[in-house]
Amino acid sequence: MHEKMLRRDCTLQLGRKRLSENFLKGGATMHVKKYLLKGLHRLQKGPGYTYKELLVWYCDNTNTHGPKRIICEGPKKKAMWFLLTLLFAALVCWQWGIFIRTYLSWEVSVSLSVGFKTMDFPAVTICNASPFQYSKVRHLLKDLDELMDAVLERILAPEPSHANATEALNFTIWNHTPLVLIDEQNPHKPVVLDLFGDNHNSSASSSPAPGRTCDAQGCKVAMRLCSLNGTVCTFRNFTSATQAVMEWYVLQATNIFSQVPRQELVAMSYPGEQLILACLFGAEPCSHRNFTSIFHPDYGNCHIFNWGMTEKALPSSNPGAEFGLKLILDIGQEDYVPFLTSTAGARLLLHEQRSYPFIKEEGIYAMSGTETSIGVLVDRLERKGEPYSRCTKNGSDVPIPNLYSDHNTTYSIQACIHSCFQDHMIRNCSCGHYLYPLPRGEKYCNNQDFPDWAYCYSDLRINVAQRETCINLCKESCNDTQYKMTISMAEWPSEASEDWILHVLSQERDQSTNITLSRKGIVKLNIYFQEFNYRTIEESAANNIVWLLSNLGGQFGFWMGGSVLCLIEFGEIIIDFVWITVIKLVAFSKSLQRRRAQAHYASPPPTVAELVEAHTNFGFQPDVISHSPTTGTYPDEQPVPIPGTPPPNYDSLRLQPLDVVESDNEGDAI
Amino acid sequence: MAPGEKIKAKIKKNLPVTGPQAPTIKELMRWYCLNTNTHGCRRIVVSRGRLRRLLWILFTLTAVALIFWQCALLVISFYTVSVSIKIHFQKLDFPAVTICNINPYKYSAVRDLLADLEQETRGALKTLYGFSEIKSRKRRDAESWSSVWEGTRPKFLNLVPLLAFKEGEMGKARDFLTGRKRKVSGSIIRKESDVMNVHESKEVVGFQLCSNDTSNCAVYTFSSGVNAIQEWYKLHYMNIMAQVSLEKKINMSYSAEELLVTCFFDGVSCDARNFTLFHHPMYGNCYTFNNRQNETILSTSMGGSEYGLQVILHINEEEYNPFLVSSTGAKVIIHRQDEYPFVEDVGTEIETAMATSIGMHLDGKQRWNLLLPPNGLQTALTSYTESFKLSEPYSQCTEDGSDVPVENIYKAAYSLKICLHSCFQTKMVEKCGCAQYSQPLPPAANYCNYQQHPNWMYCYYQLHQAFVREELGCQSVCREACSFKEWTLTTSLAQWPSEVSEKWLLSVLTWDQGLQIKKKLNKTDLAKLLIFYKDLNQRSIMENPANSIEMLLSNFGGQLGLWMSCSIVCIIEIVEVFFIDSLSIIARQQWQKAKQWWAQRQAPPCPEAPPSPQGQDNPVLDIDDDLPTFTSALHLPPAPGTQVPGTPPPKYNTLRLERAFSNQLTDTQVPAEF
């Protein structure tokens, strides 16, 4: 800016000098220069030549409502209007600030719609609560089960007579993470009792007859977790023996199963044709072939109906149980792994097509011997994403690799959190947990290869900080679908129909005439859309740019009757202001120079003409130049002031001919 | 006359004075129309021809009407709310979970207190339905049925007799106690609905409640004897229990160790110490998990049943009261930490020999009064809500109940239910002189019992009827709370323990219970409960004001600008011109008339005295003198040439000041042209 001003300054001076030179030389170049100069002047020329003029002109001609009134009435009103205008301008600025801030906060408004429409039937995942058939995994769990029986015996009836039975036990599993009894009868000095303390050497102090005097009140069962070759040990306490033995068993079973290849595990679990006895979708019969099988570490083989991975998703266009999915399942309760699961039933989850079923977290149970009817309402939420809400469209901007992408499933926050946990597990314990998928090149934890893993895992599992980092790293996905279920149950099959239903089902499954099924093992499921099957919540930007502009306009209009053009006007005036300042500064510096130059002469006082010249704005003479080319003689050139000149034609004095409509200067003034 | 004055006079002559100093209203209007910033008025004055002028008048008026209409609509729609839904995936606070056994007290402990009542109930059953032995499925110590029946005179049946009515002869009833028929007076109130037509010929069972002097009686009848006897039993039961001290009642009920066999939360073991006792009059000892015992609320950072609360409950069916409760199980209420668990009204009942898994979703709702928008206007808006407190502009809700004229007798945060119950209890104390047993005691009141308040039952039933019919005014006084948390529950059941795991599980659980139970547990004595967050999504629904005050103003501005290019300045103008100026003109005219009239009266002999010209009378006109516009110019010396002799013709740029005004001058002359 400053530079620019300076440059203009230079051109001004230059122009002036050249002009004088041209006068001497004369010729065609003079006209061009003159024209240029004129243009320059026109550019410089604002509506006035002093600040006051400018202001008055602005107030009079602006389109905003307030300023006009400032100048047209008496002093009191003038002051009032001046204050009012200032106040309104301040108000406008304030409100604009609010609006712009509101706009930048990226708020959303939601629209909600409820109704019925033809929709894709949800994907239905069905698992058995027990992951494996006991008859098929017995050989793997044999040692563990024997040990478990012995443990239970020890806890419940600590009689030494059973000691001989323990001889045959495989203590390699036991020694790794043993269960201990902690005698807290003396709260200040708890005694740790090993359950099989008398049979083998153990690091803890053991009394000869453990548990003899122990019951639930005095003793607590705890799990000893050791790392670094048994040098660092912690006890994981439980308030009840039930939990302790179950946790212990699950930990050991995990260790065993993690060493078995996936294909064998799949073969040991419940196959689709055994689990699904009957299937009907709407009026169409379906079978286990319509289900996609995946292996879930907790629940074994899970079967997904209508996953939409290979073929198109099935739509359902009618509400009511008749048009939904009807299933009869056989959970085979008698073949459950006794210590692994204590709950019997089918596990069930409704989820979106192409999404991974997190059945442990979100699934529900269906009880055997009952008919469970599930009315579904699809609760869908669609969000706008950044910058409106913190969510991710497809998970590509989340810093954690999705381990569940093997199945080609979509991103979900559960997948992210589980992947994050596995990530931490591998980093801390250098092996992957059996319950979560493995990243490439890693191995599942087991006692042989990673002796410290149980210690490490139980440490990580109760670590709250770890979970919070995962939660902070993972973003929820923008499109979220929940299936709201209305669950009701009735006894099935009824007493009267039980006989024939079981007969038919047995015949179909085993081709036997006898009943091979029992009501303890069969589950009936009806899944259907409710009368209103969707509720969609959709986000839209609450404040868009149109909203912002119209509100800015509204505010400006309301307080001052202004528009964008008024702003431009104002900007113009500011430019003029700057321009006047520049001109004044130039004149001032010029006069300073002159004064300094004159100081050398010292003797004659400055003439009036010189004074006048000092105050004259050199930039502006050409106003009259067109009328009288002779005035091209510049004050610089003027040799000596001529005394007795005719009275000056001061512009201001032209007031007198006011009664005649004055128009000659009009064009220049504006 | 000085030359300056001359010029001034000249200018004055040429310059039509049509400012707000105009002498007449008409002039003023004309001036206003020409100079106003609004668009329509000017065209009215400027248009030539009557039709055109009329059209412009019509247009302007229409625009004004439209502005008024639209602005009214804006004001009406100002107090609407918009709903926004926020979703967070975060660590969630686990709710408080209150678990109660459905049976309030161990029957063996309360037996002594209820012995008489039990006998009489049995007796009534015998006379009414003619059976003598109750086969209890589980009760071992089933006493002989009609042992002491003939002994002392029954007091309960005397107080409130159970009656059987024959359909058709409503005035007559058969008393169970005496077997005699007796006349029943008083209104008969049926508990059954009028719409249902139940068993026409059957006997109807009910009981009679009388006020003090027994002249005023009401008979309550039930379509089924089950309901009648239960209601009747409950009345007496409440009466008896009201006289028992709280400590004794807590001792008679279940202890936490008895109720909870195992407990597991967020992967960590917990036990009875994590539960706080809460005594409910009708449900006995209830235990609340995560009730902010040491000022920390537990939270879960993972979804799924593994990370929630898992408890195994011991429900001892042998200790059940056969007349008070007819179902077995436990009741679970999931609520906010500061909320009162209304065990009898809400809650999920869980069954024995089952695993009940309750998946939760958190739905938070907050109304506008509580929540201010996150932008910078908070303080301003706060003051608005506070100033609107009386009218509650957005909704009829209350933040903490302090503005509801009902005293909160519960030691818990305000809710609509608390308000209704408190209101009823207060009315009860007012009308009947004692408090109802199933609700907390207001200060300085006692629970109702026969000894002190013989006719409280009649009073209670009357009051309850009135309450249900909204005659007590509680429903209109109480308002809903502005924010509440709600958990959407998905409950599913599964068989537990499974057949193959039953054997070992039951024996280990028995060991866990240890000394408390000598015998082996049965699976129907146990219930497993899992409460967990399905995922950690929290959806909070918030109500925000759809319009803020600045939005309203900007909408006003938009309307004004669209129809008339008007702003607040125009409105001030209108006020100025139409009220201040025109009033002052009218006042001036009146003053002048009065003066004239006075002068005429004072000096009737010289009526020819010429009235002074109006224009000069105008005192405001004098202001003209110090108008900067012209005077500054006019006061210039008349003969400038003499003062600066011999100067060259200077081109004072500064003196072009008046240019701006010459411009204005031409403008003001415009009206003079037509």
- C-alpha–C-alpha distance, residues A143 and A261, integer Å: 19
The distance of A524 to chain B (nearest Cα, Å) reads 13
B566–chain A Cβ distance below 8 A for any pair: yes
Average pLDDT (B360-378) is 48
Residues of B numbered 508-527 whose beta carbons fall under 8 angstroms of chain A's beta carbons: which are they? 508-509, 511-515
- C-alpha–C-alpha distance, residues A395 and A220, integer Å: 45
- C-alpha–C-alpha distance, residues B87 and B363, integer Å: 10
Confidence category of residue A328, pLDDT binned at 50, 70, 90: very high
B507–chain A Cβ distance below 8 A for any pair: yes
DSSP A583-604: HHHHHHHHHHHHHHHHHHH-SS
Average pLDDT (A314-340) is 90
Confidence category of residue A405, pLDDT binned at 50, 70, 90: confident
Mutate to test the interface with A, among B656, B664, B669 (most CBs of A within 10 A): B656
| Residue A92 φ/ψ, nearest 5 degrees | -60, -45
Nearest to B528 by CA among A234, A182, A342, A170: A342
DSSP-derived 3-state class of residue A224: strand
- C-alpha–C-alpha distance, residues A280 and A257, integer Å: 35
Confidence category of residue B165, pLDDT binned at 50, 70, 90: low
Average pLDDT (A265-279) is 91
Residue among B377, B501, B567 whose CB faces A65 most closely: B567
Confidence category of residue A173, pLDDT binned at 50, 70, 90: confident
What is the 3 state secondary structure string of A225-237? EEECCCCEEEEEE
**Residue B17: how many other CB atoms lie within 10 Å:** 16
Give ∠ CA B122-B125-B130 in degrees, rounded to 5: 120
Name which residue leads in pLDDT, A558 or B607.
A558
In tens, the pLDDT along B401-455 reads 788 888 888 888 888 888 899 999 988 898 888 888 888 888 888 888 877 887 7
Query: Which residues in chain A are closer than 8 Å to B361, comparing Cβ atoms?
Result: 482
Judge: B652–A489 Cβ closer than 8 Å, yes or no.
no
- Say what the pLDDT of residue B665 is: 39
- Say what the pLDDT of residue A638 is: 46
- Say what the pLDDT of residue A523 is: 92
- Say what the pLDDT of residue B383 is: 24
Name which residue leads in pLDDT, A611 or B164.
B164
Average pLDDT (A322-333) is 91
In tens, the pLDDT along B224-254 reads 778 888 888 888 888 888 888 889 999 999 9
Nearest to A227 by CA among A388, A494, A459, A15: A459
Name which residue leads in pLDDT, A47 or A513.
A513
Nearest to A319 by CA among A400, A376, A245, A268: A376
**Residue A490: how many other CB atoms lie within 10 Å:** 10
Query: Which residues in chain A are closer than 8 Å to B311, comparing Cβ atoms?
Result: none
Average pLDDT (B348-368) is 79
Query: Which residues in chain A are closer than 8 Å to B500, comparing Cβ atoms?
Result: 134, 333-334, 336-338
Q: ipTM more than 0.90? A: no
Confidence category of residue B537, pLDDT binned at 50, 70, 90: confident
- Say what the pLDDT of residue A127 is: 94
Nearest to B220 by CA among B477, B210, B516: B210
> How many A×B Cβ pairs under 8 Å?
385
Maximum average pLDDT range among A492-506, B12-26, B451-465: A492-506
- Say what the pLDDT of residue B128 is: 74
Query: Which residues in chain B are closer than 8 Å to A342, comparing Cβ atoms?
Result: 496-498, 501, 505
- Say what the pLDDT of residue A156 is: 78
Kind and range of the H or E run holding B50: helix B50-76
Name which residue leads in pLDDT, B288 or A237.
B288
CA dihedral A466, A472, A478, A480 (to 10 degrees): 40
Place of tokens 């006997």: B203
Residue among B84, B492, B654 whose CB faces A50 most closely: B654
B649–chain A Cβ distance below 8 A for any pair: yes
Judge: B495–A417 Cβ closer than 8 Å, yes or no.
no
Confidence category of residue A612, pLDDT binned at 50, 70, 90: low
B557–chain A Cβ distance below 8 A for any pair: yes
Maximum average pLDDT range among A117-131, A592-606, B177-191: A117-131
For residue B281, the 8-state DSSP code is T
- Say what the pLDDT of residue A566 is: 84
Average pLDDT (B633-654) is 48
Q: Where are the alpha helices (DSSP H) in B568-656?
A: 568-574, 582-602, 614-617, 628-634, 640-643
Looking at the DSSP bridge assignments, the partners of residue B309 are B265, B531
Residue of A nearest to B559 (CA): A554
Residue A346 has pLDDT above 90, yes or no: yes
B429–chain A Cβ distance below 8 A for any pair: no
B28–chain A Cβ distance below 8 A for any pair: no
Judge: B649–A646 Cβ closer than 8 Å, yes or no.
yes
Average pLDDT score over chain B: 74
Provide the whole-model pTM. 0.73
Angle between helices A2-25 and A564-601 (to 10 degrees): 60
Residue A528 has pLDDT above 90, yes or no: yes
**Among B37-46, B440-449, B621-630, which is the least confidently predicted range?**
B621-630
Query: Which residues in chain B are closer than 8 Å to A651, comparing Cβ atoms?
Result: 651-653, 655-656, 658-659
Kind and range of the H or E run holding A221: strand A219-227
B567–chain A Cβ distance below 8 A for any pair: yes
